[in-house]
Structure 1
Amino acid sequence: MSSDAKPTDLSAARIHETVQQLLASGVLPTIVQAGHPVLRQFAAPFNGQISDAELGQLIDLMRRVMHKAPGVGLAAPQLGIPLQLAVLEDQFDVDPGVAAARGREPLPFFAMLNPSYEPLGTATVAFYEGCLSLNGLQAAVMRPEQVRLNFTAPDGSPQQREFRGWQARIVQHETDHLHGILYLDRAELRSISNNAEYSARWAQPDITLARKELGFLPGD
């Protein structure tokens, strides 16, 4: 799915002002929820709208918000900033059986600017996902199992990295945020569950039971 999201109409000066206000507030901001237009805009590519010092402060703030939530990724639009910046980190203690089934390995913290990804190979896999901007819901999403990520590091250097398994899922989810795409756009709609039903019924290592009982991805 390519994004047909409308580019943000916020000027570089307005983005700078928004970041300054956020950094000066002295509190952890709340995470923007689905329905806010910023989540449906193609965020502005980073090209120096804020200083290196402000960028470092914003990355630190986003990391703290992500940890508090808690989550494994956070994109700048989720704080109301239409800028192509996201932070990612997965250090959660996960049951070894679940981790093996999902290809979930720890992901050291990193921040990415202006990311894009492409599938490597044709293998795809579906698992349940949630989102900090869609409180209370989970849904199964089919995604490429392995991707190549191109992005700019905070120091301005171009980077290319390959990810597979759960790390690839996180990378795709956060990059999508910056292009105005939410995970529900890619989800199997019959799989949608609230958190209580997901925890009670579908929080197995894979989606075999859920797909059978809820009737999605039949015959695959």
Structure 2
Amino acid sequence: MLQLLKKMRSVMHSYGSFGLAAPQVGVPLSIFIVEFSEKIYEEFSPEIRKSREMAIIPFKVFINPELKITNYEKVCFPEACESVRGFSADVPRYREVLVTGLSAEGKPVSWQVSGWAARIVQHEMDHLSGRLYTDIMVRSTFTCTCWDKVNRTGGRIYVPFSPK
């Protein structure tokens, strides 16, 4: 189990993402990890951090997680996913949730979250249920995130679809 979690964390870091579910790396287990480092946090403007209720999240593991909605208000912000690399769309998510499960050591854990962390948890829980953000996105906002770079350079750019 520890070897799997180490590999998942490595993959998550290599893509610069904030969460990863075991099915995304071909493992049919109900596990997800999250981490929103200070380095990544600083990449966002203060305005975005405030509006999306972002905060630094230390590395966390949830095995056999269960989700309970604790605030049914929905907020809509852009999301992307390494499973659909190069695209993003606005996605409505519940403002607050409670996730419970087991830690890497097999001990019960629970985490009451709101804002950005709640969004990440819901996104990863969707993966465990076989869903992608494209299933619930605001379809009119679906966009290729690469086109801005392509257009700014007149098409003279290499856009990688593999890890950094």
**What corresponds to 1:141 in structure 2?**
91
**8 A contact 1:118–1:147 mirrored in 2:** yes
Alpha-carbon offset, residue 196 of structure 1: 3.0
| CA apart distance, 1:197 | 4.8
- Whether 1:157 aligns to 2:107 is yes
1:29-68 aligned at under 5 Å gives the runs: 55-68=1-14
**8 Å Cα contact 1:138-1:198 kept in structure 2:** no
Query: For residue 27 of structure 2, what is the aligned residue in structure 1?
Result: 81
Structure with higher Rg: it is 1
Larger strand share, 1 or 2: 2
* Residue of structure 2 equivalent to 1:168: 118
Q: Deviations over 1:140-162 (max 9, x none)?
A: 11010110111111211122210
Identical positions, percent: 35
Residue number in structure 1 paired with 2:47: 97
Q: Distance in 2 between matches of 1:81 and 1:148?
A: 24
1:181 paired residue number = 131
Question: Measured at CA, do residues 114 and 199 of structure 1 come closer, stay the same or move farther in structure 2, by a change above 3 Å?
Answer: farther
Within 5 A, what are the aligned runs for 1:10-29?
A: none
Q: 1:69 aligns with which of 11, 15, 30?
A: 15
**What secondary structure is seen at the aligned counterpart in 2 of 1:144?**
strand
Q: Which runs of 5+ in 2 are unaligned?
A: 151-164
* Aligned Cα root-mean-square deviation (Å): 1.6
Q: TM-score, normalised by structure 2?
A: 0.84
AA aligned opposite 2:110: Q
Aligned length: 146
Q: Secondary structure at the match of 1:145?
A: strand
Q: Which runs of 5 or more residues in structure 1 are unaligned?
A: 1-54, 201-220
